[in-house]
């Protein structure tokens, strides 16, 4: 009988990235990298996906680049938190 | 007396069915976002329970008001009850598979074959020939499945942080209800059957409280 794989799902990775950006306010990629526990290549890929989906906004200035969460991103975090709370009652997790 | 009993039972079944469909919809809504197999199993199981309870409740309502002389056609009532019982077996099997996959990962086809073949054997036979035997047998299967679900839920909850016991208590009450309903069919006691329906409804009420409570998540404030 095999044990379940505990790799993070795409949704969970989205959630972790968005949560770290939300907590930081204006989050630089290195901060998000540190908090989301991803390789740089994978983080870049996920950040691009989140920007394309309208969950994050990329802000570029002359010497820096940072991300802010959009209204849609905040709503996504809330929905995932509700789903997690729902599953927790059944003793389950994402 | 019989009419009042059917009516009380119908009200409890209809209310329980509405709660079951609400739980199913909640799981479906989150599953649309998260694409989680576990949520899919929960949604499917509660949908079957809800539809079955609403169908049974509607039938018992018609009987209680003696609309269409349904009670005169006992075969219809009996077949409807058997279908409802089979729906319950599939629903609780679905919960059990969800818990199993959550605890042990994906399973091989052979894992649930003995259980499913047992169900198929009983569904393929003509239920009208089996009398109370089929009712008691399927109720017993439901009780065993629910006991597994409660046990798996207990195991899952034992290691969880910030756990809520509302769902576990809900399932436990539904298990007790099915034991009471099984006993009522064995000793042929309508009041005991009604008690079982009442305990089942209380179990669904716990699930309703949980759904309402889990939906109240406060949004996190961003850093300035």
Residue A2, chain B, CB below 8 Å: the answer is: yes
Residue B22, chain A, CB below 8 Å: the answer is: no
Q: What is the pLDDT of residue B104?
A: 64
B-chain residue closest to A14, CA distance: B34
Cα–Cα distance for residue pair B164/B172, rounded to 1 Å: 14
Q: What is the pLDDT of residue B119?
A: 46
* Tens-digit pLDDT profile for residues B154-187: 887 776 666 678 888 999 999 999 999 888 877 8
Annotate B19-47 with b (16+ C-beta within 10 A) or e (fewer).
Answer: bbbbbbebbbbbbeebebebbbbbbbbbb
Burial of B111 (0-12, 13-18, 19+ CB in 10 A): middle
CB atoms within 10 A of CB A71: 9
Taking CB atoms and an 8 Å cut-off, how many pairs form between chains A and B?
Answer: 98
Q: What is the pLDDT of residue B218?
A: 57
Q: What is the pLDDT of residue B221?
A: 53
User: Measured between beta carbons, which residues in chain A are less than 8 angstroms from residue B38?
Assistant: 87, 92
Q: Which two tokens stand for residue A12?
A: 């969970």
Side-chain half-sphere exposure of A85, counting CA atoms within 13 A: 16
Q: Which residue has the tokens 């976002």?
A: B33
B190 sits in which H/E element:
helix B190-214
User: Measured between beta carbons, which residues in chain B are less than 8 angstroms from residue A19?
Assistant: 220
Closest CA relative to residue B137, chosen from B127, B151, B147, B150: B127
* Tens-digit pLDDT profile for residues B62-85: 888 877 766 666 677 777 888 888
Q: What is the pLDDT of residue B97?
A: 83
CB atoms within 10 A of CB A25: 12
**What does each of the 224 residues of chain B score in pLDDT, given as a tens digit?**
557 888 888 899 999 999 999 999 999 988 888 777 888 888 999 999 999 999 989 888 888 887 776 666 667 777 788 888 888 889 988 888 887 777 666 554 445 544 544 444 444 433 333 456 777 788 888 898 889 888 887 887 776 666 678 888 999 999 999 999 888 877 877 888 889 999 999 999 999 998 888 776 655 554 44
Q: With an 8 Å Cβ cutoff, are A5 and B98 in contact?
A: no
Of B106, B220, B224, the CB nearest to A22: B220
Domain segments of chain B: what residues?
2-158+187-213
Q: What is the pLDDT of residue B161?
A: 64
Residue B33, chain A, CB below 8 Å: the answer is: yes
Q: With an 8 Å Cβ cutoff, are A2 and B211 in contact?
A: no
* Tens-digit pLDDT profile for residues A17-46: 999 999 888 888 888 888 888 888 888 899
User: Measured between beta carbons, which residues in chain B are less than 8 angstroms from residue A76?
Assistant: 33
Of A19, A79, A86, the CB nearest to B214: A86
Class of domain A10-86: mainly alpha
Cα–Cα distance for residue pair B210/B207, rounded to 1 Å: 5
Closest CA relative to residue B20, chosen from B87, B99, B102: B87
How close A62 comes to chain B (CA, Å)? 22
Confidence class for position A93, pLDDT limits 50, 70, 90: confident
| Cα-Cα-Cα-Cα dihedral sign, residues B179, B181, B185, B191 | positive
User: Measured between beta carbons, which residues in chain B are less than 8 angstroms from residue A2?
Assistant: 104-106
Indicate yes or no: pTM above 0.90: no
Residue A53, chain B, CB below 8 Å: the answer is: no
Residue A62 is given by DSSP the state S
Q: What is the pLDDT of residue B176?
A: 94
| Spacing of C-alpha B151 from chain mean position | 16
Classify residue B206 as left (phi > 0), alpha (psi -120 to 50) or beta: alpha
Is ipTM beyond 0.90?
no
User: Measured between beta carbons, which residues in chain A are less than 8 angstroms from residue B152?
Assistant: 91
Domain segments of chain A: what residues?
10-86
User: Measured between beta carbons, which residues in chain A are less than 8 angstroms from residue B220?
Assistant: 19, 22-23, 77
Cα–Cα distance for residue pair A29/B72, rounded to 1 Å: 73
Non-local (6+) Cβ contacts of B61 within 8 A are B6, B7, B10, B14
Side-chain half-sphere exposure of B201, counting CA atoms within 13 A: 17
| Spacing of C-alpha A81 from chain mean position | 12
Q: With an 8 Å Cβ cutoff, are B220 and A79 in contact?
A: no
Q: What is the pLDDT of residue B128?
A: 37
Q: Which two tokens stand for residue A63?
A: 């010497």
Q: What is the pLDDT of residue B117?
A: 43
CA angle B122, B126, B129 (to 5 degrees): 105
């Amino acid at each position: 009988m095999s044990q379940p794989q505990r790799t993070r799902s795409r949704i969970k990775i989205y959630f972790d990235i968005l949560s770290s950006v939300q907590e930081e306010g204006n989050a630089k990629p290195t901060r998000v990298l540190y908090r989301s526990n991803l390789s740089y290549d994978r983080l870049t890929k996920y950040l691009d996906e989140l920007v394309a989906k309208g969950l994050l906004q990329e802000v570029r200035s002359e010497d820096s680049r940072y991300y802010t969460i959009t209204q849609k991103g905040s709503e996504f975090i809330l929905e995932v938190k509700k789903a997690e709370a729902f599953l927790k009652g059944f003793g389950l997790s994402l | 007396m019989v009419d009042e009993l059917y009516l009380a039972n119908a009200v409890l079944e209809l209310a329980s069915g509405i709660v079951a469909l609400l739980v199913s919809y909640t799981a479906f809504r989150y599953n649309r976002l998260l694409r989680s197999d576990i949520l899919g199993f929960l949604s499917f199981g509660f949908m079957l329970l809800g539809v079955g309870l609403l169908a049974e409740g509607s039938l018992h309502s018609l009987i209680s008001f003696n609309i269409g002389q349904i009670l005169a056609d006992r075969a219809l009532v009996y077949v409807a009850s058997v279908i409802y019982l089979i729906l319950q077996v599939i629903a609780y099997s679905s919960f059990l598979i969800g818990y199993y996959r959550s605890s042990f990962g994906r399973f091989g086809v052979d894992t649930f074959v003995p259980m499913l073949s047992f169900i198929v054997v009983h569904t393929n036979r003509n239920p009208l020939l089996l009398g109370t035997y089929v009712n008691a047998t399927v109720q017993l299967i439901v009780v065993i499945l629910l006991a597994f679900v409660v046990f798996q839920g207990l195991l899952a909850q034992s290691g969880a942080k910030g756990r809520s016991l509302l769902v576990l208590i809900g399932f436990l009450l539904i298990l007790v209800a099915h034991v009471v309903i099984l006993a009522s069919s064995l000793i042929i006691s309508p009041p005991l059957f009604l008690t079982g329906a009442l305990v089942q409804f209380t179990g669904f009420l716990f699930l309703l409280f949980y759904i309402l409570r889990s939906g109240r998540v406060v949004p996190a404030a961003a850093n300035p």
